[in-house]
Amino acid sequence: MNDETFQPPMQWEQSMVEIPTLIVPGIGNSGPKHWQTVWEGRHPRWRRVVQRDWDHPDCDEWVRAFAAAVAACAVPPLIIAHSIGCLVVAHWASRSAVPIRAAFLVAVPDPDGPGFPSAAKGFAPLPLAPLHCSSVVVASTDDPYGSVLHAQRCAAAWGSACVSIGGAGHINAESHLGAWPEGFTVLTRLIAQADSNSR
């Protein structure tokens, strides 16, 4: 299924009307060909958490920006995070009792790994406390910034489901996923789980 033919299910679109959704990119922000940006463009109500310095992530500063974005939501938001954005969510969750609806966490990097960007400061050690919401970790088998084993460890600690999508690099623009319909399917299942758990 290519970008031109991909359309989110109508039922999902209707269910999103009242759900605040926050896009949480990683280092460098997510460019125009990144699946986060493609999804955001198709959902005008979704909002990106904006950072002051995209190229030199500081954990405390990024967590504060994320916390402010969550606080601005009228109801607990859905979180769609990529890469260092996932670490921001984990650090925030270890410090805050504010609820979120669900967390979709893609390509979780290892802040102690050799490939972790030297420009990113303060992200280690990675909190491994439960997230207390429905969540899923999506991993690639050839991600240079975090192994599947790392993703599985994070998921087990956070209380998240873990989905491996095979070899897709860092699951970013260079992975050429376009609108990434397979990922959107995982997201819809996550929302269904969150809805079921809230009943």
| pLDDT tens-place string over residues 157-186 | 999 999 999 999 999 999 999 999 999 999
- The single-letter DSSP state of residue 83 is T
How confident is the model at residue 15, as a pLDDT? 52
165: in domain? yes
Q: Indicate whether 163 belongs to any domain.
A: yes
| Nearest-angstrom CA–CA distance, 105 and 36 | 12
> For the domain that residue 89 is a member of, what is the CATH number?
3.40.50.1820
Is the pTM higher than 0.85? The answer reads yes
- Domain interval for residue 144: 20-198
Q: In the chain, what is the greatest distance between 2 CA atoms, to the nearest angstrom?
A: 44
In the chain, the number of structural domains is 1
Per-residue burial over 3-23, b if 16 or more Cβ lie within 10 Å, else e, is eeeeebeeeeeeebeebbbbb
What is the three-class DSSP state of 159? coil
191 found inside a domain = yes
Instruction: Provide the pLDDT confidence category of residue 19 given band limits of 50, 70 and 90.
Output: confident
Q: Could you tell me if residue 61 is inside a domain?
A: yes
In a domain, 15, yes or no: no
What confidence tens digit (pLDDT) does each residue in 84-123 have? Answer: 999 999 999 999 999 999 999 999 999 999 999 999 999 9
User: From residue 8, how far is each of 43, 48, 72 by CA, in Å?
Assistant: 10, 20, 26
